[in-house]
Structure 1
Amino acid sequence: MYAAIMPRTSAGRTFGKRRLPHGCTLSLKLTLTRVRQWSSPTFQRDGQQDAAARMSRTDPIHLIIADPSENSAEELVSELRNAGHATRAQHISGLEQLDDLLDGQRWDMLLCRRSDEAEYTPEDLFARVRQQELDCAMILIEDSDDPARLTEGLRSGATDVILEGQDERFLLVVRRELGNVAQRRKRRQAELAMKESERRNQLLLDTSRAAIAYIHEGMHIYVNRAYVDLFGYADEDELAAIPLLDMIAGNHQSTFKQKLKDFDVDASAEPFPISGLRQNGEAFDATMVLTMAAFDGEPCMQVLIRREEQPAASSAELQQLRTQDPTTGLLNRPFFIERLEQIVDDARRERHSGGLMMLQIDHFAELREQAGLTGTDSVIRELAGVLAAETPDGVTLARLSDDTFSVVCINRGRDDLMQLAEHYRETVDTHMCTVGNRTIRATLSVGATLIGSRSESAQEALTQASRATSHVRDRNRQGNGVYLFDPADFTTERATSDSDDDRTREVLHLLSDGIKNNTLVLLYQPIISLRGEEREHYEVYLRLPDANGNLLRPDEFIHLAEQSGMGGRLDRWVVLQAVRRLATRRSEGRDTRLTINLTHNALTDDSFLPWLKVALKAAKLPREAVVLQFTEIAATTYLKHAKAFSEALSKLECMVSMSRFGGSVNPFGTLRHLQVVYVKIDGALVGDLNADETGRSKFRDMIRKLEDDGMLPVVPMVADAQILANLFQAGVNYVQGNYFAEPAAEMDFEFQSDL
């Protein structure tokens, strides 16, 4: 038995306040069949762009707070949320907790409070984040204004240092650094898109049947395989020192020179006949086209030569030679570099993290002198076999150079990477190689580096791994060790206005006039049960008209009302208007329930509850018709008052709801102290449903825990059928969002069931 949350229609009928397209069949019972349809890959692709646009506006700040006090951490979260920032915060008190959080997760910001009571130092935390190659803003909160300490904080890796009590500057710095992180991520995405485009273009050039070359000042700077084969050369490097003119048959050189002069004047792409000259002196006829181009950022000329010949098909043996090292049978350097570039690019897109290792044979010159050239090849082959046998699935092992093997992997955290590095080192250290009748012992210096969203390129990762390998031998001349690249070991230095006041006064004046003249606006949005409940349930939203008639949203004025002490007057106005409207509606025979939002002033105002009791009695409303709702941040900040408030409402048989749940450091810890019936999930968390299976699993666990504790979760911001399908699969009962109906001045949504 399932609820039909949209009326049946066959042509152009409305659902709530929304007009549906002609021809839609929308008796949307939430049956498993329909849910499967919504969950199909085709449906998800169709809604992917809209979902991405929506989430870009509602994504929370993924925040790590290092603070000895959880209460202090909650204060920082409260300050951010009061300023309009949705947060997903994690509190830590030590380095091990940071390691657990950094593995495989993306974070936007680390807030670190320096304290003598802490089990960490800011320098250690910042160094660990840098070591992970994560693009994460790091802000240090200091309790001393000593210039030397502030400078040291910046040197330790902090992007900025804030003094205790600088609340306004704190918010400005957070906003600036979040913007910087977002811009860096956008830049990386643009660079990746350009790099991918260049890679595709390069692939087209390399595989083209047409012979193509790029010429700068008469010399070849690039030739594709078809060009090399056409002129009869074995390798493109042979053409690097040969001028293009020397590859034109003598009887056509004067014609070609004239074409070059004409091209300098008018770079038209008109084809012309030419006679080419192969390496063996044989001439051939072809058609040539000259065009302007750029290669590696340099202006040059593109030469395109066409002949009516079919290139020979490459054999499987040739492909194998191109990807394998002939001595060891491992992957060769070019193929490995290509794989590494792919992993780095994916990490920059934040699809996964990665790790790179260089395994360098210690004292290779001495080994070669001892074993000879043939014996050295035998040792390298044997070591390659040993390493290959110890390489897990999903990890790529290759021979990078004469004395160096390389390993790249994905989705391995810092500890896993170092365990694998140590395993390789120990395996080779205990292995004895045999060359003829002699036994030769080899050891490895293993340098590793992490690959994350801030990794610039494959070449940079290789450089870091190489420096890490050298660092092993710097610490111990014999090598035979492992080391994870840490930038700190390689560098010594790191690097409210008058208009706001005017705006505040303007908003407070509008609020005061709105309360006095009843010009504030109430809107109503339905809360819908997916389990067949027929009661009408709406949430009440407040809007403030400005001088131009535009309706300001609560996040533009509520915090000002609370800070100015006007929140109490605002609460009374909203409750009074809402219960009057509700009383009229119920007198018409409607079984309607309203959820009314309150400011934190209602929690701390001892006179509010007696007033509320009188207001409800005067409206002759049953207690279950009204749900009073306050935010999680208000409850966290004023926990003692919120506890007393919820207990008093429970005695009055009024239901309590807490909104924006899940954004604090310890949301369930706050909830344990309150007598709450409904819990409205923070809308920013709804994005977890469209992220991946891990996000959906976390969301389902949160819903299940709330229901196990006897509370009723409400999920807002349902904007499309894909989210709705995921919510149904998660077992959610109550949903809300513009997909059903936008907040409206009238309570005219068509609640119905089709059982």
Structure 2
Amino acid sequence: MSQNIETINVLFVTREPELAERLISCVRMRGRTVRAHQAADRVELEERLLSHRFHIIVLIDRGMDVGTHDVIGALQNSGRLTPVLLLTDRPEDERVADYEAGAFAAISLGPDDVAAILILKAVEFHLCCTQMHRLQSTLQAAERRHLRLLQDSPTPNACFRQGQILLANDAWREYFKIDASADLSGYGLGDFVIPEQQDTLRLLVEERAVQNDSAETRQTFRLRTAHGRKFEGDLVLTGASVDGEACTVLRVVANADKDASEQLSALDPVTGLHNRQHLIQTLEQVLAASARAELPFALIEASVDDFERIHGTLGSSSSDILLTDIGLLLEEHFPPPATVARLGNEDFGILVPSARRTELDQRLAALVRAAAARQINLDQGSTVVSLSCGAIIADDSAPTIEGLLDQAARALDGIRQAGGNGYAFQHLLSDAHARAESDQQWKARLEDAIAHQRLRLVYQPVVNLHGGDFPRFSVFMRVTGPDGEVYDPSDFLPAAERTGMAATIDRWIISHAIQALADRLKSDPRTTFFLKLTRGSLLDGSVVVWLQKFLHKRRVPASRVVVEIKEATIITNLKSAISTARGLKEMNASLCIDDFGNGLNPFHILRHVDADYIKLDGAFVRDVVSNEIIQKAIRRFTEGGHAKGKQIIVPMVEDAATLAVLFSLNVNLVQGYFVHPPSEHMDFDFTQVI
């Protein structure tokens, strides 16, 4: 077993102790020490889960009125994610519901050795998952601490990856005169130094990438602000990671003798409580310690109901007094060792290191009652408010810290939607269950965005590298949330695919894009749109029919449309892809294979679908300037495509050096932020030479 534990703690839910003893003997015969407990009914099951930690639960359902759903429910109520092995004499076709409920395995009562092997495998799987979560939390905690130091530093700092800025602190914005509301995604390395030194900085970044993260590279540059003012300063380059991927941190040092970071404050300036950062740091410690704790911990998110209206009525000063008083109330009901913090605005977080569900129920009920009965004295009179609370009980088998905060917030949202002035518990979800729930939320969000017309199209030019050509645009969609937040396709398309929303989104995009194309053709009849199709549309046998219907309705020639389908989607849905490609060819529309080049023999796909364009996977662009292997791969794809009469497109072009290499490799078409970012306006000049 990969994880070294001395004793396996097993809970048998059964009324057949003799069978349990046989299984224990089989496990011990395989060199493992077992400490076994038994629960014969629901009451004993809940009592055992509250008082002990188990590595596995074995349910023998013969003669029992306890089923898999009951065991999983009891685990969720206790805040545990423990594998459940079901031993049953029910037919296999009746066990599907057990797997859907969350059973690790459901096997027949029979050879004890098979059950013993599965017990060991389930325990090993559980321990590996727990260790993985712990390592992820540790890595993410280290990353967060580093980024917090950068963000709160008085020294200008910014993180870059592949030449593009990922994030920058306020000092960086102020130093380079970038407006606080400006989108940083359009800025690259070269925007902060004079043109003559851009290549020098790029080479410096490339050299630093092969060094240790702790190593520093320092050099003096002629810098420039967003307003064009030029001045001299030192750039210090170090390594870091954002979202688990390596990046380069640039720090500006105007005075070599002054390079220090302020220590993060742990207190909220309004309420005097701990702040969000301190709560997350404490949660990291509790999560690590929970591996050795008998009881799980609880995370609670509390919020003042209808605070926006209250703030509008009382004003900022009285609202701050109100929040301070609520903070005192929370500390009264959750004294140390609990940690109470203000998360932001009207939201508070409470971390309870050792938690029992029954005790939390009582404390939360008392808190909600006390809040509703409390007279809060303000500058002018007094007021009464109500609280909503969302709670989750968890242990070290929990998902990431962000996942815990998100699940507590979901519980809070649920009680708010029910009218507030109460509390609710969220069952601890595994990563898979959390993803399924998140998918359903995305589905509802997308349906709401469609219903309230919060979808919009943006267009990115696809430009010929070898001279003037007719206008081509790749069409993308953005989703705007009810509060103005903007989501890219990478945020919602995976969930849309899994929930069956992708085909609906495809139709919305294509119908609106064809309308926009019809308008554009009036001024330039050569314009061509690249429109993406997802797997959901590919499996819809009517895709060619409704595409042709949209084109006919708007009087748009099919020759002005190129349909993009990902290589992986074609391979895994080959029959539908062949039919769709044939239909597109018959109606005189073109086909582009997207994300091309990942298979063992990529050109083999052209034997089945006759594409006009091949768009390489954007990963090939990464390091293309310095990596000869990647250059040879792109040359091979380009020459092979040209030999078959295909045009080669390379996306994600982010700098001039990449553009020059692609030109030398005889690539036909390019797109990317360096050429032109996606925009709601089709104003790119295709007659210019790039």
TM range, smaller chain: 0.5 to 0.7
User: What TM-score, normalized by structure 2, do the two folds share?
Assistant: 0.53
1:456-496 CA-to-partner distances (Å, cap 9, x unmatched) read 1121111211221233345xx3332222212699979999x
Aligned partners of 1:468 and 1:485 also within 8 Å: yes
Residue 76 (structure 2) aligned to one of 96, 118, 130: 130
> Residue 410 in 1 paired to residue 353 in 2?
yes
Question: Which residue does 2:475 correspond to in 1?
Answer: none
Cα distance in 2 between the residues matched to 1:145 and 1:414: 36
SS of structure 2 residue aligned to 1:323:
coil
Question: Which residue does 1:66 correspond to in 2?
Answer: 13
1:74-129 CA-to-partner distances (Å, cap 9, x unmatched) read 343234334443210111223343344334743111011224455x4442222121
**Following TM superposition, by how much is the alpha carbon of 1:227 offset from its aligned partner in structure 2, in angstroms?**
5.9
Cα distance in 2 between the residues matched to 1:462 and 1:73: 39
> Residue 160 in 1 paired to residue 83 in 2?
no
What residue identity is the alignment partner of 1:158?
A
> Residue 326 in 1 paired to residue 266 in 2?
no
Residue pairs, 1:55-454, within 5 angstroms: 59-103=6-50, 105-118=52-65, 120-145=66-91, 147-148=93-94, 150-195=95-140, 198=143, 202=147, 212-216=157-161, 219-223=164-168, 244-248=189-193, 253-260=194-201, 272-277=219-224, 285-288=232-235, 295-297=242-244, 300-303=247-250, 305-306=252-253, 308-311=255-258, 322-347=265-290, 353-368=296-311, 371=314, 373-435=316-378, 438-454=381-397
Cα distance in 2 between the residues matched to 1:366 and 1:271: 52
**Following TM superposition, by how much is the alpha carbon of 1:350 offset from its aligned partner in structure 2, in angstroms?**
6.7
Cα distance in 1 between the residues matched to 2:396 and 2:169: 33
**Following TM superposition, by how much is the alpha carbon of 1:428 offset from its aligned partner in structure 2, in angstroms?**
0.9
Residue pairs, 1:469-508, within 5 angstroms: 469-474=412-417, 477-486=418-427
Cα distance in 1 between the residues matched to 2:148 and 2:414: 37
Cα distance in 1 between the residues matched to 2:43 and 2:99: 23
1:716-739 CA-to-partner distances (Å, cap 9, x unmatched) read xxxxxxxxxxxxxxxxxxxxxxxx
**Following TM superposition, by how much is the alpha carbon of 1:186 offset from its aligned partner in structure 2, in angstroms?**
3.7
What residue identity is the alignment partner of 1:91?
Q
Change (3 A) 1:391 1:246: same
Cα distance in 2 between the residues matched to 1:371 and 1:225: 31
**Following TM superposition, by how much is the alpha carbon of 1:56 offset from its aligned partner in structure 2, in angstroms?**
6.3
Q: Could you say which structure has the larger radius of gyration? A: 1
What residue identity is the alignment partner of 1:255?
E
Change (3 A) 1:472 1:169: same
Higher relative CO (Cα under 8 Å, sequence separation at least 6) belongs to: 1
Aligned partners of 1:67 and 1:91 also within 8 Å: yes
Cα distance in 1 between the residues matched to 2:434 and 2:152: 47
Cα distance in 2 between the residues matched to 1:159 and 1:241: 47
Change (3 A) 1:348 1:305: farther
1:668-690 CA-to-partner distances (Å, cap 9, x unmatched) read xxxxxxxxxxxxxxxxxxxxxxx
Aligned partners of 2:205 and 2:248 also within 8 Å: no
Cα distance in 1 between the residues matched to 2:32 and 2:149: 46
**Following TM superposition, by how much is the alpha carbon of 1:163 offset from its aligned partner in structure 2, in angstroms?**
2.3
Question: Which residue does 1:457 correspond to in 2?
Answer: 400
Could you list the runs of 5+ residues in structure 1 that have no partner in the other structure?
A: 1-52, 496-755
What residue identity is the alignment partner of 1:423?
A
Residue pairs, 1:552-631, within 5 angstroms: none
Segment of structure 1 superposing worse, 438-447 or 263-272: 263-272
Aligned partners of 2:27 and 2:120 also within 8 Å: no
1:370-414 CA-to-partner distances (Å, cap 9, x unmatched) read 545554443323222222233211111122232322101212233
Change (3 A) 1:63 1:435: same
Cα distance in 1 between the residues matched to 2:42 and 2:259: 60
Residue 466 (structure 1) aligned to one of 409, 420, 431: 409
The size of the alignment, in residue pairs, is: 430
Change (3 A) 1:312 1:280: farther
Change (3 A) 1:215 1:409: same
Residue pairs, 1:4-43, within 5 angstroms: none
User: What TM-score, normalized by structure 1, do the two folds share?
Assistant: 0.49
Change (3 A) 1:380 1:202: closer
Aligned partners of 2:27 and 2:117 also within 8 Å: no
What residue identity is the alignment partner of 2:116?
L
Cα distance in 2 between the residues matched to 1:487 and 1:254: 53
What residue identity is the alignment partner of 1:256?
Q
Change (3 A) 1:236 1:99: farther
Q: Provide the identity percentage.
A: 20
**Following TM superposition, by how much is the alpha carbon of 1:218 offset from its aligned partner in structure 2, in angstroms?**
5.2
**Following TM superposition, by how much is the alpha carbon of 1:424 offset from its aligned partner in structure 2, in angstroms?**
1.6
Cα distance in 1 between the residues matched to 2:9 and 2:291: 17
